[in-house]
């Protein structure tokens, strides 16, 4: 069963709200909804989301964190403490549909997203990333200093087959992110 297919009414509603003349905000809402569907907090994920009022270029729109629980062997000092480890596993930069041009993709990915990736605080210098422009998305794997596309061209989520492909990439990221970034 598809996680972000037409049966997910939240994703469907957010996707259909992204219109050709939309601002960046509906794109952010779409990706917040997709991330909540693929990376639910109950499974050990959390999000840092830039608010729509902060439409500056100093922070990525969405950062997904994976959290692991480590139970410490009880000692006199730890008394059975639980330690949580977390790593950022994916950054997403969202843009309005009007940026869906070759220049828009290049400036967003190599410029803005690239700057965020260069400044990430992650001991392994590795993370997954995505550029989402309107209803389209391109996924990347970043290993300092290289950003490598995970597929040749952006997926258009308005097309069910491409949405299914995007979902497969997201599930691949979910399954392998901890080992990649930690």
Tell me the per-residue pLDDT of 90-119, one tens digit each, with 9 for 90 and over. Answer: 999 999 999 999 999 999 999 888 888 888
Element (H, E) at 151: none
Choose which CATH entry (1.25.40, 3.90.1570, 3.90.1070, 3.40.50) describes domain 9-181: 3.90.1570
Per domain, the residue ranges of the chain are 9-181
Give buried/exposed letters for 138-152 (b at 16+ CB in 10 A, else e).
bbbbbeeeebeeeee
Angular region, 167: left φ>0, alpha ψ -120 to 50, beta rest: alpha
Specify the pTM. 0.87
Which residue in this structure is represented by tokens 């608010």? Answer: 51
- Return d(Cα 136, Cα 115) in angstroms, integer: 21
Sign of CA dihedral 65, 28, 35, 162: negative
Digit-coded pLDDT (tens) for 34-48: 999 999 988 888 888
The pLDDT value given to residue 102: 97
The pLDDT value given to residue 95: 94
Report, as ranges of residue numbers, the positions in the chain whose pLDDT lies below 50: 53
**Is 95 strand, coil or helix?**
strand
Q: What mean pLDDT is reported for the chain?
A: 86
- Return d(Cα 48, Cα 27) in angstroms, integer: 16
């Amino acid at each position: 069963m598809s996680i972000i297919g037409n049966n997910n009414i939240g994703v469907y509603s957010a996707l259909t709200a992204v219109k050709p003349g939309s601002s960046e905000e509906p794109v952010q809402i779409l990706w917040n909804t997709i991330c909540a569907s693929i990376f639910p907090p109950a499974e050990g994920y959390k999000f840092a989301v830039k608010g729509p009022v902060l439409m500056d270029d100093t922070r990525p729109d969405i950062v997904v964190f994976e959290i692991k629980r480590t139970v410490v062997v009880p000692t006199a000092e730890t008394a059975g403490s639980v330690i949580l480890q977390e790593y950022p596993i994916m950054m997403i930069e969202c843009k309005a549909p009007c940026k869906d041009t070759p220049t828009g993709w290049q400036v967003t990915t190599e410029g803005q997203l690239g700057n965020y990736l260069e400044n990430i605080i992650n001991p392994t210098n590795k993370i997954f990333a995505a550029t989402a422009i309107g209803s389209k998305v391109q996924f990347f794997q970043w290993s300092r200093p290289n950003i490598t596309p995970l597929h040749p061209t952006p997926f258009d989520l308005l097309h069910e087959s491409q949405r299914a492909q995007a979902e497969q990439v997201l599930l691949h990221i979910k399954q392998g992110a901890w080992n990649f970034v930690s």
